[in-house]
Amino acid sequence: MSSNETLSEIEEPPTYVSSIPVPNVQELVRKDPLQVPQRYVRDQQDRPKDTDMSHLSSLIPIIDMSLLLMGNKDELNKLDLACQEWGFFQVVNHGVPNEVLQKMKDSAAEFFDLPLEEKNKYAMPPNDIQGYGHAYIVSEEQILDWSDQLILVIMGMDKETLLELHKQLVQAYRVNYYPPCSKPDQVLGVSPHSDPGTITILMQDDYICGLQIQHKGEWVPINPIPNALVVNIGDMTEIWSNGKYKSINHRAVANPNKARISYASFLSPQDQVEVEPLDQMLNSEKNPQKMYKRVKYGEYLRNSMKMKMEGKAHTKMAKID
């Protein structure tokens, strides 16, 4: 801090909706691998079905970033179609060194291997979503997800890309730890939801499939491609595009034999940024009118956090009737 800088001039970090403390799932499994408490058991209609939709996984678009950087129009059209029809795609040749991705995985595995008392030194404080624990827990009656989380918020990433829309980019990083579950057909690792921000970049474990996306009424798994990154559209992009690009419901399922870790980076506007459909996204044929209200991102995010993860309920609140 410089000598002429006062504490009052330092920007206060944002506060978030507090989450009710709940048990540590990894510790539950460590004590009794066969135990699945009732608080984690889903209603029959919400449980993962036996229907195998893995054959649709091969249809999820794979985007070659090196072709995009070369200005390849076919690849650009493929990306446009992926954002319209799927809301999800995998990216290869993205330029992130494999060693960097592996170090992220090694660091996360090392953290979750720590004793519980060590992990709890980084527990989420009240009114914050940073740290180790669980977010979006709003009631004692809520059915819980079969996972633990480590969340970090990184402020001040000043990038030219999307600078006008975001002003100053906010990036949050969440590591999800999914312990094995003796009754995987009765629980979910993460409830169905769409992401409130602009885009999400996700790294999966290379050989354990757990992510599923909702497509035409079916839950389709996204099979991991080693060293690829999964990208999905967030609610803000849906609003900016006036619904042309859609944020999609997605969830995580549990594995009966192995723990799984996923690594998600959420890119979002700053709290004070107001978001509404861009004028150039109004189309005289398809969407001549704005389909979404103007929303302030910080308020939108906190309103979504007051609700349990429940599909696209918060996105519907932003729609113009």
Identify the H or E element spanning 213.
strand 211-215
pLDDT attached to residue 140: 85
Q: How far apart are CA 213 and CA 232, in angstroms?
A: 10
pLDDT attached to residue 156: 42
Q: How far apart are CA 195 and CA 198, in angstroms?
A: 8
Reported as half-sphere exposure (CB side, CA atoms, 13 A), residue 75 has a value of 15
pLDDT tens digits, one per residue of 213-225: 999 888 999 999 9
Q: What is the mean pLDDT of residues 258-273?
A: 92
In this structure, of 145-159, 208-222, 256-270, the range with the lowest mean pLDDT score is 145-159
275 within 8 A of 294, measured Cβ to Cβ = yes
Nearest 10 degrees: Cα torsion 212, 249, 267, 228:
20
Is residue 67 predicted with pLDDT exceeding 90?
Answer: yes
Identify the H or E element spanning 305.
helix 297-305
Q: How far apart are CA 240 and CA 121, in angstroms?
A: 39
Beta carbons within 8 Å of 124's beta carbon, 6+ residues apart: 19, 130, 131, 132, 133, 134, 135, 151
pLDDT tens digits, one per residue of 38-66: 999 999 988 988 766 777 888 999 999 99
Q: How far apart are CA 266 and CA 199, in angstroms?
A: 6
pLDDT attached to residue 16: 65
Please name each of the domains of the chain with its CATH number: 99-317 (2.60.120.330)
What average pLDDT does the chain have?
86
